[in-house]
Amino acid sequence: MKIYINNFNIDILYNLLDLFNDKYVDSETFIEIYSIDGIYKINDKYIKKLNIIDEEIKLFHHYYKNFTLIVDKSYFIEENVHSINPEHIFQKIKKCYFKNNNQSNIQLVIESLIMEENNQKKNLIQPKDIYFETTKNIDINDDFIKKEIIVFLSLLN
């Protein structure tokens, strides 16, 4: 389950990244490929086709101050594949995970594009998405969950 921040200005996120350093838990880097046949995810271990299962979305207006949240229960089923249509586009992604504590059922995810600067070996990071993620179907109005979400939202405010 993903929880998006409605109308969040992603352009300001780069300047706020340092606020999350003490909550960092992990990251992964992969290539996302889009072709007429579907969406694929590639890392150094596998190639997977991402088959989306669409589910209901709900809006929570003024969840905290001026933040409206979108809860999306859609998910992907990953399918191992060995080839990809040669006509495609791709982007290199770095996905960073942040939690308030190790026992937390919810984490903040910041996805960034990794771009090379003028064929140099130096990479540029450009945030492209921010959302909360959980593997469980949770109630975001539960007091404990809401407190965890508000900790991150207050840093973004």
* For residues 47-75, average pLDDT: 95
pLDDT given for residue 99 in this prediction: 96
**At 79, is the secondary structure helix, strand, or coil?**
strand
117 pLDDT band (50/70/90 cuts)?
A: low
Q: Does 121 score more than 70 pLDDT? A: no
pLDDT in tens, 22-53: 999 999 999 999 999 999 999 989 999 999 99
Confidence at 120, pLDDT banded by 50, 70, 90: low
**Residue 122 — pLDDT band, cuts 50, 70, 90?**
low
Q: What pLDDT, on the 0 to 100 scale, is given for residue 108? A: 97
Residues whose CB is less than 8 angstroms from the CB of residue 120 and which lie 6 or more positions away in sequence, other chains included: none
| Distance in angstroms (rounded) separating the CA atoms of residues 47 and 32 | 10
Residues 147-157 have pLDDT tens digits of 999 999 999 87
Q: Look at residue 134 in the predicted model and tell me its pLDDT.
A: 92
Q: Which pTM value belongs to this model?
A: 0.90
The amino acid sitting at 136 is K
pLDDT for 64 beyond 80:
yes
What pLDDT sits at residue 17? 85
Distance CA 84, CA 86 (A): 6
How far is Cα 84 from Cα 46, in angstroms, rounded to an integer? 12
Task: Report domain extents, the chain.
Answer: 2-156
| C-alpha of 105 from chain center | 15
Q: Name which of 3-17, 87-101, 118-132 the model is least confident about.
A: 118-132
